[in-house]
Amino acid sequence: MKRLIVLPIVVVFFMNSLFSQDKYRLAEEIVVSKSAELKAAQKDRYYNLAGYNKNLLVYQLDLRQKDKDGYNSSEAAVKLYYDENKRKVVDTISIKKQGRNVYRFLQTNDLTLYHGFYQVPSGCENKTIDYFYSRDCILDYQDFWFELNGKEKKIRSVGGHYYDVDVYYNICYTGDRMVMTDFVSEYLRSTIADSIITVYGVQNGDVTTKEIACMECVSPQIVKGQLFYGQKFYYCPGTDFYDWKVYRAPNFDLSKSELLGEYIEPLLVSPDGKYILGKKYLHDKAVAVILDVEAKKFDYLLGREYLRYKYFYSPVHKKFAFDTDSHIIYINYPQEFQFNSIGEDAEEKSLPKSEREAFWKKITTYPDLLDD
């Protein structure tokens, strides 16, 4: 297998001359190689971006072992803190406890939100989370609890194993609120369960809750006291063809929601609330986009398949970024956003098959960084 040789930092600029005949441009990237220490820690195990703590990236590392079917374990075992500037692993902390199993966790500074099984039944204390779907140790619930200043508190149990009922959750950037909404699957978000957004406030260990009814809403995020969310709409009446609109509501008042974009599913809002990383279809392929909130304009991130990678917001570089296993790709904000996020510009675009293939061959020009 050929290996791609990349300097620790590579800057790739817009190539406007390639696309002078239209508005499509390659994204401007800064590609940084991960440190050898970080790559070694992540090798042969699942991992996720879990957030940040005082400008250090926080990674979730799962157990470095196989489940009974030979796949990498999906049980979280370690917090790893990584300094992006120095490209250095600062610390690793084990989160394994007997009788407690973590599937995912998120962290913002001192607040950590855990998703898993807070206390498993007797007889399952020494089992990994990958064992729980077997007939010998079935758990028909999933727990959420948080840790703040060394103290833990369970805030919710959801009926149904995490394989059957998914829950979207996040921590706001100020680290004092958590948001949850659950749904049946990625594509069937139409029951009463996924229309309730629950906001958990945390002050000095005390918890307050607020429920917001929002039919068929996804990815709720609180930024600067405003609720950003996506909501399903059907663009062919009488059919099941649907897409997403992006809104923001002041003070959780959905009646005052402002439409920010159409045909865009929100993924992540920047801490200043100025930009949204989203997913949108272009010529029958899902691509990443960045939406300028105030201007209500967006641009496609073209040049590679960014949605193959793990996305996050870098607190150090103040940019959206993508983790590719071997590198981190930071995306510079476009100097000018090309497309209106509401109206004709936002509508889905499609081409005949031959033209579509030619378009993607021309536009996907950056090298793949998953298997280098």
Residue with tokens 């599913």: 265
Helix, strand, or coil here: 272?
A: coil
Most confidently modeled range among 130-139, 294-303, 346-355 = 294-303
Strands 285-292, 275-282: pairing kind: antiparallel
User: Are 99 and 227 in the same domain?
Assistant: no
For residue 74, the cross-strand partners are: none
pLDDT of 273 strictly over 70: yes
pLDDT attached to residue 184: 57
* Averaged pLDDT score across all residues of the chain: 88
Confidence band (pLDDT; 50, 70, 90) for 106?
Answer: very high
User: Are 50 and 18 in the same domain?
Assistant: no
User: What is the value of pTM for the model shown?
Assistant: 0.90
Q: Residue 43 belongs to what domain range?
A: 36-213
User: Are 272 and 343 in the same domain?
Assistant: yes
User: Are 28 and 63 in the same domain?
Assistant: no
Q: Which long-range contacts (CB under 8 A, 24 or more apart) does 201-210 make?
A: 201/176, 201/177, 202/111, 202/146, 202/148, 202/176, 202/177, 202/178, 203/176, 205/148, 205/149, 205/151, 205/153, 207/153, 207/155, 210/252
User: Are 128 and 57 in the same domain?
Assistant: yes
User: Are 125 and 102 in the same domain?
Assistant: yes
Q: In the chain, how many domains are there?
A: 2
Out of 213, 236, 255, a domain closes at 213
CA atoms within 13 A on the CB side of 258: 13
Cα-based torsion angle of the residue sequence 41, 44, 45, 48 in order, rounded to the nearest 10 degrees: 60
Out of 159, 183, 213, a domain closes at 213
CA distance 151 to 129: 23
User: Are 55 and 202 in the same domain?
Assistant: yes
Q: What is the pLDDT of residues 2-58, one digit of tens each?
A: 333 344 444 444 343 344 346 899 999 999 999 999 999 999 999 999 999 999 999
CA distance 41 to 89: 9
pLDDT attached to residue 135: 65
- Give me the amino acid identity at 132: F
Q: What is the pLDDT of residues 308-340, one digit of tens each?
A: 999 999 999 999 999 999 999 999 999 999 999
User: Are 67 and 6 in the same domain?
Assistant: no
Residue 339, H or E segment: strand 339-340
Question: Quick one: average pLDDT of 107-115?
Answer: 96
Question: Quick one: average pLDDT of 84-92?
Answer: 97
Q: What is the pLDDT of residues 183-193, one digit of tens each?
A: 655 554 444 44
User: Are 155 and 231 in the same domain?
Assistant: no
The token duo for 44 is: 């042969």
User: Are 179 and 152 in the same domain?
Assistant: yes
Average the pLDDT over each of 4-8, 34-38, 239-243, 287-291 and give the range with the smallest value.
Answer: 4-8
User: Are 191 and 338 in the same domain?
Assistant: no
CA distance 128 to 140: 16
User: Are 202 and 300 in the same domain?
Assistant: no
Out of 213, 241, 273, a domain closes at 213
